[in-house]
Every structure is written in structure tokens, then in C-alpha cells.
Amino acid sequence: MLRPLALVAMWTATVAWSVALVSDDARAQGSIERPWLGIAMDAEGPHPAGPGVRVGHVVRGSPAEKAGVREGDRVVRIAGNTVMRSADVVQTVAGYAVGDSVDIAFVRAGKEQTARATLAAFPSQDQMMRMDLVGTFAPTWKDVEVASGAFPPSIASLRGRVVLLDFWATWCAPCRVVIPKLDDLQSRYGAQGLSVLGVSTEDTQDVALFARRIAMHYGVASDRHGSTSRTYGVVSLPTLVVIDKRGVVRDVSIGYDPMGEARLESTVRSLLAEPAATN
């Protein structure tokens, strides 16, 4: 079973979204915005092609994306400083302020290119996931194993239905509060076209046992290697992704907010009332 520390360890292969940290002193002052570049980088270690670190992901609408940086690029210099590891990027960006521009040298298809990015203020996790997902077709899940109920093979097989995709864990207290509420939505709106699905990075047997014990009445899958969680950019639990009948992400929420329950149900009803998806 993956506990909180193990979940954190899952992301050590990526310097998640914090590619623009400022110093502890600056954070303590509380008046300095953290500059943000918007890329996630591969794990530490020498790159087989030479100096630099591979870009594992670029947040949609981020300074890096606007500058033309793409997933798979190898960043070799930033602001003139040679990059040997991901921490070099973090430390360099931390020396700048929101609104400053930095030059990024990267290698793509064997050729070095240069782009200039204007650093933005570091968004919240909710804001970042919304930037990355809302308005795009939901990524398909991969490398998941059905633990309980009916879990469809792909998001494409759910076209025409509204989907609530919940990333959760058995040890997560807020998740345990959310699950019965999602179960209730499934019970009341399932016949009208709602599909609630749960994804956990824990072992399949542990997830199945928990689902039986609390009587979860919707499909649950184990994402034991974290492939789908990483694809969706999940870094906190619970994370709920709302997907419409066309397969487009319409909202993302992180954590549990009792004030948001009515809004979620209103969103579900609104999406169910939309015309069915057409090919």
C-alpha cells in the first residue's frame, strides 16, 4: 500500500511544477511572488546525449509553452548558465522576479535552439491543473488494473456520458469524505448518463478490499505505477476531474471543500443536459 511518503516518492522522477522556486527567506517575507516557468523535468542524473535535462512536460499556457519549449526538449542553458541537473534550472529561475525574461537554450532533434520566456507568478495547484487540462480532451488512462466494479478500458468508450474521475487513496482522510458523496451522485444520476470512476495508486488488492468494505458503487482501478496519475498531473489527493460528453475536461478541483458540493452537483446536472456527443 502506498502511504503519503510513498506517494511523494512516486514523483521523484519529475521536478513537478516547481521549476521556479524562490528562497526560503523570500517565501518567509510573504510579499514576493514566486517566478514560474512551467516545465517539469526528468529525474536527476547525466543525460545520455550530454549536458542538460529533458523536459518531461510543459504546462499549457505557461511561460515555457508560450516561448516554444516542448516536451522532449533538452534544456542545456538557462539565462546563460549551463544546466547539468534540474536543480540548476530551479536555482537560476529563483534568482529572477515575476515579469523578468530569461533565455532558454535547448536541443530538439539534435539542433540547439534558443527561446525567451517571460516568467509568470507561480499559480496554485488548482490553477495549474486547470490551465493544463480544462478545455482539452481528457487523457486516456493507461496501465491501470480494475479493482472493483466496472472500469471502462478508455475514456473514449465513455463518449456521450459525463464522467467524474476521482484520484484518491485509502489513507487520505478528505478522500474518505468525498467518496460517499460521489457514490450518491452515481446513484442519483447514473441512469441519466453519469459515470463516477476512482483511481488509486495503491495495490489492486488493497483498493478492492477497501471498496468492498465501504461499498463503493462505482468503478475503481489501481494505477499502481502512477502512469495515469502522472498523465493527469496529479500531485495532491483527492483530485477530481470533470469530463463532459465529448470527452473534454470542464473542471478540476483539488481537496475537499464542503461549500463546493452544491456547485459540483449543479455542474453535473448542467453537463447532463448538454446535447449528446456526435462523431
Please give the pLDDT value at position 41. 87
DSSP 151: -
Query: How many structural domains does the chain have?
Result: 2
Catalytic: which of 40, 104, 158, 172?
172
Mean pLDDT by 10 residues, the chain (279 residues): 38 37 39 87 68 91 97 95 93 96 97 97 92 96 95 96 98 97 98 98 98 97 94 93 98 93 97 84
Please give the pLDDT value at position 6. 38
Closest CA to 85 of 97, 94, 76: 76
Assess whether the previous peptide bond of 238 is cis (omega < 30° from 0).
yes
* 142 within a domain of the structure (yes/no): yes
134 and 267 assigned to the same domain: yes
63 and 189 assigned to the same domain: no
Please give the pLDDT value at position 279. 59
DSSP 3-33: -HHHHHHHGGGB--S-SS---HHHHHHS-SP
Residues forming a β-bridge with 146: 221
Give the domain range for residue 211. Answer: 125-273
* 62 within a domain of the structure (yes/no): yes
The enclosing domain of 194 has a CATH number of 3.40.30.10
Please give the pLDDT value at position 96. 96
152 and 188 assigned to the same domain: yes
Q: Where a domain ends, among 61, 90, 121?
A: 121
Residues forming a β-bridge with 199: 167, 221
Please give the pLDDT value at position 3. 43
Please give the pLDDT value at position 168. 98
Separation CA 203–CA 226 (nearest Å)? 11
Q: Where a domain ends, among 92, 121, 150?
A: 121
Other CB atoms within a 10 A radius of the CB of residue 47 amount to 17
Closest CA to 148 of 174, 191, 177, 186: 186
Catalytic: which of 2, 175, 179, 216?
175
Q: Where a domain ends, among 121, 141, 156?
A: 121
Please give the pLDDT value at position 45. 56
257 and 129 assigned to the same domain: yes
Burial environment of residue 262 by CB neighbours within 10 A (0 to 12, 13 to 18, 19 or more): exposed
Please give the pLDDT value at position 13. 36
Burial environment of residue 29 by CB neighbours within 10 A (0 to 12, 13 to 18, 19 or more): exposed
Separation CA 17–CA 20 (nearest Å)? 8
Please give the pLDDT value at position 66. 97
* 278 within a domain of the structure (yes/no): no
Phi then psi dihedrals of residue 199, to 5 deg: -130, 125
Assess whether 172 carries a catalytic annotation: yes
| Residue written as grid cell 499549457 | 60
Please give the pLDDT value at position 24. 38
115 and 184 assigned to the same domain: no
Assess whether 157 carries a catalytic annotation: no
